[in-house]
Amino acid sequence: MGNRPNLRRRSDRIATPYEYQFLPDHLQTAFDKASIVDSAGIRRPLVANKLILFKATPDYTPPSWVGRMLTPLVLFPVLCVLGIALSWWAQRRGHALSGLDYTLLSILGLLGWLLVFCWVGTQHKVLAGNYNLLWAMPLHLPLLFLLPRFSKTWQRGYWLFTCFLALAACVVTLLQQPQGLHQAVFPIAVLVMFRCMVRLRALGDTK
């Protein structure tokens, strides 16, 4: 997903013509269309002529089929299906499959702390209030590893809250409002919700 999870609502809005002139190509286009009025009152183009000093030759190699498959929009749905299938298989055999939860939520927690750091620890004000924290919640670390010390009521609350956040991430991803999230977030959030329901069911069966 590249830098997409690090972007928030303010950085997702459409740039104004003045703002996107920081890109050389757009700046050139703006100068090409600009004009001035001389002392005689005649409107003339701002740029009298153009001189190309260097013209780069595009060097593009189409990706292989492996490269086309290893994209978030392909890989994450596959991981979601595998995670749900593995959960169903483990549940049929009475296994908790805690390793999947620790691995998945630890990765999301680490990503969440990185997003929080970019929010409060850098000068990038447009990165504040990132809705990607719905699915990459930083509090998974350390709460996930402290969870066994809590009562069953607190554990249910943790899994319910995590499930609610994942559901909210799914809704935001589908609506692309109030922030445009990467579509690959949806299968990850679905897997998190499914694992939360599995853990809640296990807690309900525990006396």
**111 near 136, Cβ under 8 Å?**
yes
Q: What is the domain count for the chain?
A: 1
> Which candidate, 99, 23, 110, 75, places its Cα nearest to that of 185?
75
Q: Which residues make Cβ contacts (< 8 Å) with residue 120, sequence separation at least 6?
A: 128
Domain-embedded: residue 50: no
Supply the range of the domain harboring residue 171. Answer: 4-11+63-205
Digitized pLDDT (tens) for each residue of the chain, 207 residues in all: 555 565 555 566 677 777 778 888 888 888 888 888 888 888 888 888 888 888 888 787 877 877 777 888 899 999 999 999 999 998 888 888 889 999 999 999 999 999 888 888 877 777 777 888 999 999 999 998 999 899 999 999 999 999 999 999 999 989 888 888 889 999 999 999 999 999 998 887 655
